[in-house]
Amino acid sequence: MILIDGKKEAASLRLKLKDEVIELKKKFNNVPGLTVILIGELAPSQIYVRNKEKSANEVGLNSHVIRYPNDVDEKTILKKINDLNKDNSVSGILVQLPLPKHINKKKVIEAIIPSKDVDGFHPINVGNLSSGYESSIPCTPLGCYFLLKKIEPNLSGKKAVIIGRSNLNGKPMAQLLLKENCTVTITHSKTKNLKSECLMADIIIAAVGIPKLVKGDWVKKDAIIIDVGINKTDEGIVGDVDFEQVSKKVKALTPVPGGVGPMTIACLIKNTIDCFKRTQTN
Ligand code: GUN
């Protein structure tokens, strides 16, 4: 079994991006800038944002985190996004989710100018991705895609089963795999007989948030499994895949932690650099 080392792949991508930033600086006398907006004190969000900032600085981006208390009003956030949209030193804007209940997620996502939407959540970017046009691609599915391509460069004709239909993961993942000529099935909480769907899959992307859902007898022996889940349980952080069972059966599997997580952050850096490049050449 191949244990897909997301930490190693992310480190190698960051190294490549670091060289790219050096070249961009030479060419444009400027480096890409990433601004992250963090609202409130949620512990996981604090950790994610700290890791994003650390990685961005390591690669040489000009990165900032703007922090607001949980009770900040929506208007203040929308005004800040509007200012950042116009700020030429900012190539990418990310508002960390989830947001407090009194702030409208849709309004916030749509306030970010699509050309600086490093999450790829703006409906313009979602539409561009599904139409096969150039766009920012959500970081987690993009990270999954790079890990998959590393194991299997030719995905054409493969049957991919995605568990979970979220805008963050499942839906954009389906678009990426369709573009690679996979036959894609998106499954979700109302899917009948998920096990039999999984048993037909050459590739499974588990992104549903149910600890150890995918069992050893759900998978084919030559399948590649990407586990997006990060579930806090009594036994610590576990994925959506029963690692112990599934690792004994399949061709390749990502661990949790150390699989998709590090790639997500490296892809955010990549997206920021790509946003910068598009503004420099347009
Ligand atoms: N919260 C958890 N994952 C993400 C992500 O990919 N982007 C943003 N903005 N917030 C998140």
The pLDDT tens digits of the residues spanning 181-214 come to 999 999 999 999 999 999 999 999 999 999 999 9
**Using the 8-state DSSP alphabet, how is residue 240 labeled?**
S
Active site residue 96: yes
What's the burial of 253, exposed, middle or buried (CB within 10 Å: 0-12/13-18/19+)?
buried
Q: pLDDT confidence of 22, banded at 50, 70, 90?
A: very high
For residue 259, what pLDDT is reported? 97
For residue 132, what pLDDT is reported? 94
Percent with pLDDT over 90 in the chain: 99
Please identify which of the residues 52, 80, 171, 270 carries the catalytic annotation: 52
Superfamily, domain 139-261: NAD(P)-binding Rossmann-like Domain (3.40.50.720)
Please determine, for residue 282, whether its predicted confidence score (pLDDT) is greater than 70. Answer: no
Q: Return all residues near 31 (Cβ < 8 A) that are at least 6 apart.
A: 21, 24, 25, 60, 61, 62, 276
Other Cβ atoms within 10 Å of 240 Cβ, number: 25
CA 18 from centroid of its chain's CA atoms = 19
Average confidence (pLDDT) over 65-77:
98
Distance CA 104, CA 40 (A): 15
Please determine, for residue 76, whether its predicted confidence score (pLDDT) is greater than 60. Answer: yes
Percent with pLDDT over 70 in the chain: 99
Please determine, for residue 166, whether its predicted confidence score (pLDDT) is greater than 60. Answer: yes
The pLDDT tens digits of the residues spanning 255-266 come to 999 999 999 999
Topology of the domain covering 28-113: Rossmann fold (3.40.50)
Q: pLDDT confidence of 37, banded at 50, 70, 90?
A: very high
Active site residue 119: yes
Counting from 1 in the atom list of ligand 1, the atom nearest the Cα of 138 is: 6
Distance CA 93, CA 72 (A): 18
For residue 73, what pLDDT is reported? 98
**C-alpha closest to that of 118 among 95, 145, 147:** 95
Mean pLDDT of the chain: 97
Tell me the pairing of strands 2-3 and 33-39: unpaired
Q: pLDDT confidence of 1, banded at 50, 70, 90?
A: very high
Does ligand 1 lie within 6 Å of residue 97's CB atom?
yes
For residue 281, what pLDDT is reported? 66
Residue 22: both structure tokens together: 């050096």
For residue 101, what pLDDT is reported? 98
Tell me the pairing of strands 231-233 and 33-39: unpaired
Counting from 1 in the atom list of ligand 1, the atom nearest the Cα of 140 is: 6
- Domain spans, the chain: 28-113, 139-261
Q: Return all residues near 197 (Cβ < 8 A) that are at least 6 apart.
A: 161, 185, 187, 191
The pLDDT tens digits of the residues spanning 123-155 come to 999 999 999 999 999 999 999 999 999 999 999
Active site residue 52: yes
Residue 185: both structure tokens together: 């099935």
Distance CA 5, CA 92 (A): 27
For residue 173, what pLDDT is reported? 98
Mutate which of 38, 52, 96, 125 for ligand 1? The one with the most ligand atoms within 8 Å of its CB, which is 96
State the Cα torsion 146-139-170-185 to the nearest 10°: -20
C-alpha of residue 248 to centroid of ligand 1, in Å: 32
Please identify which of the residues 117, 119, 240, 274 carries the catalytic annotation: 119
| 3 state SS of 47 | helix
**Using the 8-state DSSP alphabet, how is residue 157 labeled?**
T
C-alpha of residue 96 to centroid of ligand 1, in Å: 5
**What residue spans of the chain are helical by DSSP H?**
6-28, 43-59, 74-86, 105-111, 123-131, 139-151, 170-179, 194-199, 243-246, 260-281
The two domains 28-113 and 139-261 share their CATH topology (first three levels equal): yes
